[in-house]
Amino acid sequence: MTKSAPLITSLIFQSIFSQQNVGIMTQNPEEKLHISGVSNIINSNLGNTGLALITPTIRVDGLNINNNPTAFEGANTVAPLYADSNGDLSVKKGIEAFGNYILPGQDALVNSTILNVVANYNYHLTGNLLSTTFNLKQRSVVYISSNISIEIQNTAGGTITDGKPRAISALLLFTSAPASSGIPVNITYTSESIVYSNRTPSSINGYFKLAPTSEIVLPAGTYTVALRGAGAAGNNSPAEDFRVIWGGGTGDKLNVLAKPL
């Protein structure tokens, strides 16, 4: 028996290397690594996803929370698994929220801003109504969403009744970005605008909403994005001068979400 052991061991290893596929819970692996077994639904969820945990599963200690503390919020959270061009696996945080993330129904602006517009065909700008800085660890899809309430008045704070058009815009722009991103700094990146005119004193009064948004792929680095307001009117000052109240309503926000690629 002792003399035959090396022969048996040799035959086993020859079988493994000639087969070139490794199987777990299967004697006929069909891939380089083939994990088999009956898929059973366990009476528990996968983290806090609400999805039922299904076996069999794979555990890789190098991907756990101890080795990737920034990828997990806590013991019950899950993170996406990524493979790079070399086939190396890693976990990322997935979608991340930046800045003071504003949930639906909340309001990011406590104090409103008044923009006095002189009618000279030129746009007049506010400073930053909202601003947030975010850092990308790797190339990511970035979603920028905003919402700003506006109220349009004559210079005395009353209703405009001259029927002349006024242009009002909400602007998103990057105030800082890595040179490698190719993003122009302090130049409007995207905007949403309306043209307002009114002739009757009994017009609808209240707040309008502007919500410029953007989706962009950005490389790793630190960025700052800001929301500003602008207004313009024809060259008939002071008769067509007006003012815009920014952020006096509810639901004002500037949110940034990023998903690693």
Predicted local distance difference test score (pLDDT) of residue 11:
43
The answer to pTM > 0.75 is: no
Mean pLDDT of the chain: 84
Among the ranges given (54-63, 150-159, 241-250), the one the predictor scored with the smallest mean pLDDT: 54-63
Please enumerate in sequence order all residues whose Cβ is within 8 A of that of 162, keeping only pairs 6 or more positions apart, or say none: 199, 239, 240
Q: How confident is the model at residue 18, as a pLDDT?
A: 47
Least confident span in 95-99, 163-167, 175-179: 95-99
Q: How far is CA 189 from the centre of its chain?
A: 16
Among 116, 148, 163, 161, residue whose Cα is nearest residue 226:
148
d(CA 1, CA 164): 104
Q: Which residues of 216-250 are buried (b: 16+ CB within 10 A; e: fewer)?
A: eebeebebbbbbbbbbbbeeeeeebbbbbbbbbbe
pLDDT confidence tier of residue 184, bands split at 50, 70 and 90: very high
For the beta carbon of residue 137, count every other beta carbon within 10 angstroms: 14
Q: What is the pLDDT of residue 38?
A: 66
CA-based nearest residue to 172, from 152, 186, 158, 157: 186
Cβ–Cβ under 8 Å, residues 53 and 43: no
Tens-digit pLDDT profile for residues 204-249: 667 899 999 999 999 989 999 999 999 999 999 999 999 999 999 9
Report d(CA 249, CA 107) in Å as an integer: 9
Q: Which tens digits make up the pLDDT trace of 9-38?
A: 554 544 444 457 887 777 788 777 777 766
CA-closest candidate to residue 175, choices 215, 222, 141: 222
Q: Give backbone dihedrals phi and psi of 25, rounded to 5 degrees, phi first.
A: 65, 25
Both tokens assigned to 36 = 């088999």
